Amino acid sequence: MEKYSAPQGLRRAPWRLGLLAISLFLVCAHAFGEGPGRDSKLTRVKHIVVIYQENWSFDSLYGLFPGANGLAQSSPASLNQTDRFDQPLSAQTGQPFSLVSGSLALTTPPQPINNGQIDTRFTAGLNTLLPYDVLKNSTLQPNDTTGDLVHRYWHEQSQINGGAMDWFVTWSDNPGLTMSYFDATNMPEGLLAQKYTMADNFFHAAFGGSFLNHQFLISAAAPVYPNAPASMQAVLDTDGQLLVDATTGKIVHDGNITPIGGVSFTVPGATFDKNYAVNTIFSVNLVPTFSAVNAALLPSLNDSDPSDTSRPFIPNIGDRLSAKHVSWKWYSGGWDNALASTVSNPANNGVVPPNAPVDPLFQWHHQPFAYYDNYAPFKNGARNPVSAAHLQDRAHHRYLTSIKQLATVRKLLRPPIAPLDIATRLEGKRAAMPARRGCASPANGVAVLN
């Protein structure tokens, strides 16, 4: 059993969530250092590259990173995980664990779950209520995967619990894995951080997972689904958390959409004024090959007509850049094959073609611009030329045709490219350490740009 003694007076709790799939923001120099009052030193900056993770907390990868605000600074409250009634779980050893979602029977401390079953690769009797090193407490091999962890809008708010960070175990669908970590200090991205900058106090823009954070990345707003079906709306308690059945202890109904009038858990006295899309939902503009065309798809978002009173007008960064005649592109791995496979493509006559070429790992909800009118891949029965000009396959970018491990980025973006290029990637294969099912590995995913 590992024990942690957090220094007194430090309030930082351990599980800050990372963002999105590993992405690269590539910004050319003339976007900085120009105009009145600009620092002339910025003109020497050629490009800024930002690399950030999806669905991992900072401490689950870099909690042991030298000099970082990591595991050693964990708050006492976060190391005293409690149940929903604020009773310490450490005092409930051997008692049944109340799993808010799923039917698996667990005892306290809860064991990690994989594929709906207790993961026996982890050490028997492991204390999962405190941070523990996965590789030192399991028989997992580098090519293995662990179970996944819930990363959804209302779950995370409850887990954070107003900053106490003491409900991460209780509100997880895989409570025994929540406090686990890997030491990624000497993984490729960790080596990059040692050479450049580690943002150890960086927080993501929105509660939950990739979908909403991608939307905030380009528009700083949650999409709205006007008059969303009731079946898609979450059932909330009077305090704004997901309603839990008092008899079964299970969540009554999670959803993709906020209920109008529903109470906010994090903003006292506030209620939702619209049906906001906050958990993963796919777009009617780009229907995944595994999805039917029905009301479960998010209607196209309005960035084209401010006078349209039936839909909120939500401009995005692409619209702002285009309005200022700034060239930009969003590159995505597997984009062309996805367009060839979707029923949104008029050439497919409303059906997924046989042997559709889309990669099974393609992330349909990681394409935020495609949710908007102006960048819908297809319009009026044909390819949308505006979308085609800005949303492109990574294979078309001279520097982003491969995803490999690396310890340094050399000859970065020389010669310069467009003023703003955003590159996304598929969730990659694992290397050097096990990965959580459904999450990208920190060992891979940085493009070699030379």
In a domain, 93, yes or no: yes
The answer to whether residue 81 sits within a structural domain is yes
- Locus of tokens 């923001």: 25
| Predicted local confidence at residue 447, as pLDDT | 37
Q: Is residue 5 part of a domain?
A: yes
What pLDDT, on a 0 to 100 scale, did the predictor assign at position 49? 58
Q: What global pTM score does this model have?
A: 0.83
Range of the domain at 418: 1-203+397-450
Q: What is the pLDDT of residue 192?
A: 84
Q: Where are the beta strands (DSSP E) in 91-214?
A: 96-97, 106-107, 113-114, 117-118, 132-133, 145-146, 180-181
The domain tally of the chain equals 1
DSSP assignment, residue 434? -
Tell me what pLDDT residue 325 has. 86
pLDDT in tens, the chain (450 residues): 334 443 333 333 333 333 334 344 444 445 554 556 666 777 777 665 555 566 788 899 999 999 999 999 999 999 999 999 999 999 999 999 999 988 899 999 999 999 999 999 999 999 999 999 999 999 998 788 999 999 999 999 999 999 999 999 999 999 999 999 999 999 888 888 898 888 888 888 899 998 999 999 899 999 999 999 999 999 999 999 999 999 999 999 999 999 999 999 999 999 999 999 999 999 999 999 999 999 999 999 999 999 999 999 999 999 998 998 878 888 888 999 999 999 999 999 999 999 999 999 999 999 999 999 999 999 999 999 999 999 999 887 765 544 343 333 333 333 233 333 333 333 332 334 566 655 544 443 343 333
Sign of the alpha-carbon dihedral angle for 415, 417, 421, 426: negative
Does residue 95 belong to any structural domain of this protein? yes
pLDDT at site 17: 34
Whether residue 34 lies inside any domain: the answer is: yes
Q: Is the dihedral of CA 287, 445, 173, 200 positive or negative?
A: negative
In a domain, 285, yes or no: no
Q: Determine the pLDDT at residue 329.
A: 84
- Note whether residue 283 is domain-resident: no
Q: CB under 8 Å to 373, separation ≥6 — which residues? A: 300, 301, 302, 303, 304, 305
Q: How many CB atoms within 10 Å of residue 342? A: 23
pLDDT at 227: 96
For the chain, what is the radius of gyration of the CA atoms?
A: 23
pLDDT of residue 222: 97
Q: How far apart are CA 439 and CA 140, in angstroms?
A: 16
Could you tell me the CA-to-CA distances from 7 to 3, 137, 252 in Å, in that order? 13, 25, 39
Q: Is residue 365 part of a domain?
A: no
